[in-house]
Structure 1
Amino acid sequence: MSRERVLFVCTHNSARSQMAEGLLRALHGDRYEVYSAGTVATRVHPLAIEVMREIGIDISGHRSEHLDVYAGEPMDYVVTVCDAARESCPYFPARKRILHHSFPDPSAVEGTEEERRAAFRQVRDAIRDWLETTFAENARTAAQRA
């Protein structure tokens, strides 16, 4: 059985989309082939790598990529995880669904290192909860059709 392809899109492809990619791959990698990109490529944020490692997911090998890398690539789901990406993202077709769920930008949080780390943890956990609900349901629906 071929896996459905999912592309997560965020502005900088540094935190939210990277965490979403790592989480969905860990949760349902047997069902989904997962990618992430940004409207502006930067770097994977070190705190995103750190908080993902805390839950046993290694995204240290991820690279921040520009959305253009996936132009012309067929995707089953295209998911924007921030409002800015939704607004500035050129139309990117999806064979099944285009989804949007905006998560706060943990990179924008100012404060102590521990306060910033806590913001990354909160966003990581919110993304995980949303993915478990959204993509587990998609997996169940597809299995029922098979």
Structure 2
Amino acid sequence: MAEGYARVLLPQNEFEIRSAGVEVHGLNSDAAKVMLEDGVDISGQYSKKIDVDYFKSADLIITLCGDAKDKCPVISAETQHLHYPLADPVNAVGSYEERLDVFRNVRDKIKKIVHGLE
């Protein structure tokens, strides 16, 4: 979701946007659904594992999930690092609509974070 917002909201000539994680998963259909509700199509995105060489050369790294800060490779002291311990919406419980509401809540928080980078 963060990659989708970053590609839509941030100036492409100022940011090179890459998204990756410590594990590879497929695109979550619920994430795609709630993003499309907000006009952002992430259906072409896919899960990628962190490219450690690129990670080491980044100027800014943003981690979003609660455990990402602990599981990411070591971030150099020269790299700006922002961490937002958001709940992973994949772990939401309840009815389908209740789980979608968790995705929407996380989506809205991510959108505010990305807006703050402008």
* TM-score normalized by the length of structure 1: 0.73
AA of the residue aligned to 1:71: V
Q: Residue 16 of structure 1 aligns with which residue?
A: none
Contact 1:78 1:93 in 2 (8 A): no
Deviation at 1:29, TM superposition (A): 3.7
Deviation at 1:85, TM superposition (A): 1.2
Q: Residue 56 of structure 1 aligns with which residue?
A: 39
Q: Residue 87 of structure 1 aligns with which residue?
A: 70
Q: Residue 108 of structure 1 aligns with which residue?
A: 91
Matches within 5 A, 1:1-146: 19-30=1-12, 31-67=14-50, 70-73=51-54, 74-93=57-76, 96-133=79-116, 135-136=117-118
* TM-score normalized by the length of structure 2: 0.89
Which runs of 4 or more aligned residues in structure 1 lie more than 3 Å from their structure 2 counterparts after TM superposition? 92-96
Deviation at 1:83, TM superposition (A): 2.3
Contact 1:81 1:100 in 2 (8 A): yes
Contact 2:66 2:87 in 1 (8 A): no
Greater length-normalized contact order (CA 8 Å, ≥ 6 residues apart): 2
Can you list the C-alpha shifts for 1:53-110, whole angstroms capped at 9, x where unaligned? Answer: 111111111111111xx22122121111112111111114486411111111111111
Cα root mean square deviation, aligned: 1.5
Q: Greater strand share, 1 or 2?
A: 1
Percentage identity across aligned positions?
Answer: 36
